[in-house]
Every structure is written in C-alpha cells, then in structure tokens.
C-alpha cells in the first residue's frame, strides 16, 4: 500500500502530478499541499551518535540509542516533521560472547546496503587539512498511520579517502580520543552539510547528548558567526549526570584535526577555556536545554550553575515495547492506545484473568527463548526477576548478591526466586566485565538454591523479550548516575512491576507499594553514603522477603492489581509520545 508520507493517507490511485523524485527515491502524495510540505517544509534535525531502530541495524550500544530510535518512531506517528542524523557504524558496537563466564569481544558488522539505500550526493569536509568525503545511507521510517521520518547514516567508507579515513564511521564508541573526535567532526559538521546537500530544510537542530555539538560550529560559519542566530536554532538534551562523563578534547588535538572552522578564541569562549567540553559548547549555543528526568535536571543545574536547564522526562515507544499478548489485550479493550498511550489509564477495563493470561504467555515465550539460547529450562511458575542493561560499574548488577546468606535463606524459607541477566560491557570497561564474571560465579555458587542465567549478546530483541516476560524488573543504579533509564518503562508497558533504586525516572514513577517498590532511601534524604548503601541492601532483601515474594505467591489478586497500576499509572505517562509532544510544545515551536 502506498501512503502519503506527510499526512499518512493511503493512496489507492497515486497521481502522476503529485509524485516527486527526491534523494534517489520516489514519493507519492495526496495533493499539492503535502507534496510541497515534504519538499520544502522545515524539519527538525535530530542528531545522535547512536540510533537504535531495529536489532539488525547495529548502530546503538544502549539506552541513548534506543531512546533516539523511539524519538524517530513517535515523531512519525505524531507527524512531527523530523529527520535523524547518525553514523553508520558498519562494524557495530560489540558482539558479545560469554565463554567460561567471561565476556569476549567481537566486531558486530552489519551491511547497510541490505536494508537501506545510498543518497546520490556526497559532501566533503576537512580533517587534518585533508579532504574527507562523506556519503550517507537513508532509511525511511513510515508510521502505519502517521508520517514518514528519514534517518541519515553518515559513512566515510568512500573511494578516494585514505584507508584510515574510510574507517572513521566503522566502530561505535571504538578507538582513542583522536578517533572519537574525528567521528564527532563527521557527525556534527558532516551532518549539517549532508542535510543541505540532500535538500532538507532545517528549522531546528536537536543534539541528543553532546557528541554532535560541533554542528554548532558549522552553523556559526553559515550564519556569519552570529551566536544568537545559532542559539535560536539549537536544542540540547544532556544525558550525563557526572562531570567526568562529559566528552572533552584538548585544544591541541582539536586544532590539529579541525583547523580553524571558527577562530580558536570563539571556540574557547563557547567550549571552555582549558579544553573543548562538548557539553559546554552545546549549552552555550542552545536556546533550549533539558535533562532527561526531573532528578537529572536538578543535578545538571548543580553541575552547570547559571544555565537555564529544563526537563523532559524520557519515554519509550509504546507499540514497539509492548509484547504481542498485551498488544492484543490493549487492541481489544483500549482501541487507539498505540497512538494515544494515555488511554492506558483505562486499564481497569481489562479483566484480571486476561491480564494474567497475557503475562503468562509472555513469560512462557521468554522461558522458551532462554531455552533456545542457553539450553536451560526456567520454571514459568517461579517468581522471576529481570536485570538487563549495559554492564558498567554504576549499574551495580551484583547488588542482589550483597548478602548471600540472606538471599539463600529467603529462597529456602520464604519462596523461590530466579533471575535472568543480560548486558554488554564496553570493551575497555574492565569493571563492567568483572561484574559479568561475578554474576556467572554466583550462578555456580548458588546453583542448588536459585536459578540464575546471564544471557549472551543483549540487544533490542532480547530487551523486549525480557521486559515483557519477567515478573519484576530490578534496577540498582548508584545515584545520581542513572540520568533517566528507560528499560523499566518498557517493563511497565507489559504489566511487569518495577523494583528499583530511586534514581532517574523512577523518582517520578514510583508510588511505593502501588506502582512498584523503591530500593533504598529517597534521594532528598540527607544521609552518609555508608548509611545509604546499608539501607539499600537491607530494603532490597526486606521487600523481597516481606512484600514481593508473599504477594506473588499468596496474593495473586493484589499482584495483578499492581500489574495494572504499572500499565495505568506508569506506562500511560512514561512513553515517547508524551515525550515528543513535550519537545514539540516546549522546544521545537
């Protein structure tokens, strides 16, 4: 079926005069107006180092990229005129093998030409004063009832480039500082040039994290160095709650690679005196700046005093992250939910038994998936906890094993628990790798008490299986490091209940005992770090022993009531449709 890419109208008889050839593709429209809007209308350019659209595009590493993919999908559903820009990352982020309980790293190649087409035009930029050619692949995401949003994947693997330059867009988050800066030059500066070459009219530039903030230098150059004019065009979303996490480069390196796109003095004035801080550059050149959860905004204000930082709390794309059995239920009882996730507030329309049946279907599918991947059989009648996200220190994947005696005792005396883990560690993150080893050691150590598995090669497909098929979604980050977190929102869409440290989005999502449970004290409470750790660990076990396990096994009605609250009080708000409407009214318009 042919769909008008602007208004979403199905076209039974496409008309020759409302056809357009652009960017090497043919598009059909319902009439002159949509055609004109598509060819000449202003768009929001959404820049992100990673965008996770589907599992076969290996252009994401974790939450940041998956969020960017959900931005694209919700924008298309809501007919927000947006175009995405990212790197093609043909060698991917990382293919994870787990051998003898340890992570082994492999490249994770993908072949863009299998899925997407090449743009006819290339652009050129300068790195170390040598010309580097950039091409782009275009992917069109057509929403079933909404509009079309294109994503450009920039690629320097072009004939005529030096062998080294041909690799710039190969490895997501790979290489050294120099490699990273080259990637950010291609993303920021190459991205702006490519949008122009591809005839996109851009009204706003949205930087998803600071990696792309060199785009503002290209805009300064195009706007006669008027920073106010650039500021008017730019929106910046920061995702990093700690100073050390922000991308920085020495000016020696910057000058060597970048030359003088803008005079060094101008660059220092906006990007910091001592070194180029990509976050600071973005802060100084954007009119609208936001954090990704209220708590993260508050923290960002302390990191960057004097800036006006707003907040738009993250969300996830409801349709993408709802499993088949729950989609069927929502279609039946809450028609229209996928494009109006607010309707999930009416979850009480759905009979309890049907919620439970849909959940058990998802749970059995997960158990089957685990069996296929690992050969291990999990029991669908046992309370199952899920923990899956990037394996890195602050996520504290092993917090559950802080007190083994207590964990064993709870399992033997109170009720059985089993845990499914997954997540990749960055190749250079030895702490993250160590956490994976420890979990595998625990699996061995506790094998007669509780069943544990660490699934290999976490990706979006596995994320959707896990966040729909477990009973409880566990999250134990070290505050304030979790800027938002989104996997718990995916869980909520499937009636899975969150049990999490009060950090990031969960500060806004948690109503104790109603929408889920908190682990540890309120972030507002003024406590010593040691006392905080102690309370986190005590509450983790206390709530498992006294609240969660008894409710699951002996009070199923109350459990289902909480599942419904997860849908009706969490998913109905923490979705990317609400998020994109907020960006539209607060930042884009």
Residues that bind ligand PLP (CB under 6 A): 62-63, 66, 389, 458-460, 463, 485-487, 490
DSSP letters, 408-464, are HHIIIII--EEEEEE-PPPTT-HHHHHHHHHHHHHHHHTTTT--EEEESS--HHHHH
Place of tokens 């294109």: 150
Place of tokens 């498992």: 544
Place of tokens 């999930």: 344
Q: Which is nearer to ligand PLP, 108 or 459 (CB)?
A: 459
- Rounded distance between C-alpha atoms, residue 579 and residue 493, angstroms: 15
Q: Which two tokens stand for residue 218?
A: 């290209």
Distances (CA, A) of 22 to 28, 35, 195, 200, 263: 11, 11, 13, 10, 36
For residue 164, what are the β-bridge partners?
Answer: none
Q: Taking the CB of residue 278, how many other CB atoms lie within 10 A of it?
A: 23
Cis peptide before 480 (omega within 30 of 0): yes
For residue 139, what are the β-bridge partners?
Answer: 151
Q: Which residues of 46-58 are buried (b: 16+ CB within 10 A; e: fewer)?
A: bbbbbbbbeeebb
Angle at 409 between CA 404 and CA 414, to 5 degrees: 135
- Rounded distance between C-alpha atoms, residue 297 and residue 172, angstroms: 27
- Rounded distance between C-alpha atoms, residue 424 and residue 61, angstroms: 8
Closest C-alpha to 40, from 271, 158, 201: 201
Task: Let me know: does 483 contact 293? Beta carbons within 8 Å.
Answer: yes
H/E segment holding residue 243: none
Q: Taking the CB of residue 509, how many other CB atoms lie within 10 A of it?
A: 24
Residue 415's region, left for phi above 0, alpha for psi from -120 to 50, else beta, is left
DSSP letters, 333-371, are HSTTTTT-GGGGGGGGGS-HHHHHHHHHHHHHHHHHHHH
- Rounded distance between C-alpha atoms, residue 156 and residue 123, angstroms: 10
Angle at 72 between CA 165 and CA 50, to 5 degrees: 30
């Amino acid at each position: 079926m042919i769909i008008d890419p602007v208004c979403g109208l199905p076209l039974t008889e496409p008309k020759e005069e409302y056809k357009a050839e652009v960017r090497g593709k043919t598009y059909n429209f319902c009439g002159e107006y949509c055609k004109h809007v598509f060819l000449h209308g202003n768009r929001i350019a959404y820049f992100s180092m990673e965008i996770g659209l589907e599992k076969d595009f290996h252009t994401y590493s974790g939450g940041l990229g998956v969020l960017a993919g959900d931005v694209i999908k919700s924008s298309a559903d809501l007919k927000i005129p947006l175009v995405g820009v990212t790197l093609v990352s043909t060698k991917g982020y990382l293919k994870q093998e787990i051998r003898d309980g340890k992570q082994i790293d492999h490249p994770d190649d993908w072949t863009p030409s299998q899925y997407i087409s090449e743009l006819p035009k290339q652009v050129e930029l300068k790195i170390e004063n040598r010309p580097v050619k950039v091409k782009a692949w275009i992917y069109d995401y057509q929403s079933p009832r909404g509009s079309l949003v294109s994503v450009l994947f920039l690629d320097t693997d072009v004939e005529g480039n030096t062998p080294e330059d041909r690799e710039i867009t190969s490895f997501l988050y790979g290489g050294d500082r120099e490699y990273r800066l080259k990637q950010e030059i291609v993303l920021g500066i190459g991205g702006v040039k490519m949008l122009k070459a591809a005839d996109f009219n851009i009204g706003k530039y949205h930087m998803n994290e600071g990696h792309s903030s060199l785009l503002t230098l290209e805009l300064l150059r195009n706007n006669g160095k008027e920073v106010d004019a650039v500021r008017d065009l730019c929106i910046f979303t920061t995702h990093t709650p700690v100073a050390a996490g922000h991308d920085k480069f020495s000016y020696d390196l910057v000058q060597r690679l970048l030359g003088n796109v803008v005079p060094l003095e101008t660059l220092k004035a906006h990007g910091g005196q001592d070194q180029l801080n990509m976050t600071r550059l973005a802060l100084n050149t954007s009119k609208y700046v936001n954090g990704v959860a209220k708590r993260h905004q508050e923290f960002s204000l302390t990191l960057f005093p004097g800036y006006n930082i707003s907040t738009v709390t993250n969300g996830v794309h409801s349709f993408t992250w709802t499993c088949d059995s729950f989609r069927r239920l929502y279609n039946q009882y809450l028609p229209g939910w996928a494009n109006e996730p607010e309707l999930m507030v009416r979850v009480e329309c759905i009979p309890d038994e049907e919620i439970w049946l849909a959940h058990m279907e998802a749970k059995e599918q997960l158990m089957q998936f685990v069996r296929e991947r690992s050969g291990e059989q999990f029991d669908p009648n046992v309370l199952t906890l899920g923990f899956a996200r990037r394996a890195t220190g602050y996520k504290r994947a092993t917090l559950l094993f802080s007190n083994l005696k207590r964990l064993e005792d709870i399992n033997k005396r109170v009720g059985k628990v089993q845990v499914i883990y997954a997540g990749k560690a960055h190749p250079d993150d030895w702490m993250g790798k160590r956490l994976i080893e420890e979990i595998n050691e625990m699996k061995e150590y506790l094998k007669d008490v509780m069943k544990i598995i660490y699934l290999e090669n976490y990706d979006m497909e596995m994320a959707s299986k896990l966040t729909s098929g477990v009973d409880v979604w566990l999250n134990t980050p070290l505050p304030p490091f979790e800027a938002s977190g989104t996997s718990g929102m995916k869980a909520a869409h499937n009636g899975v209940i969150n049990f999490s440290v009060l950090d990031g989005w969960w500060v806004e999502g948690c109503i104790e005992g109603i929408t889920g449970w908190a682990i540890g004290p309120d972030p507002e409470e003024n406590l010593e770090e040691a006392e905080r750790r102690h309370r986190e660990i005590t509450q983790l076990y206390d709530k498992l022993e006294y609240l969660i396990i008894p409710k699951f096994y002996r009070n199923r009605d109350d459990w289902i009531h909480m599942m419904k609250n997860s849908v009706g009080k969490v998913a109905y708000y923490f979705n990317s449709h609400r998020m994109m409407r907020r960006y539209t009214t607060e930042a884009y318009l």
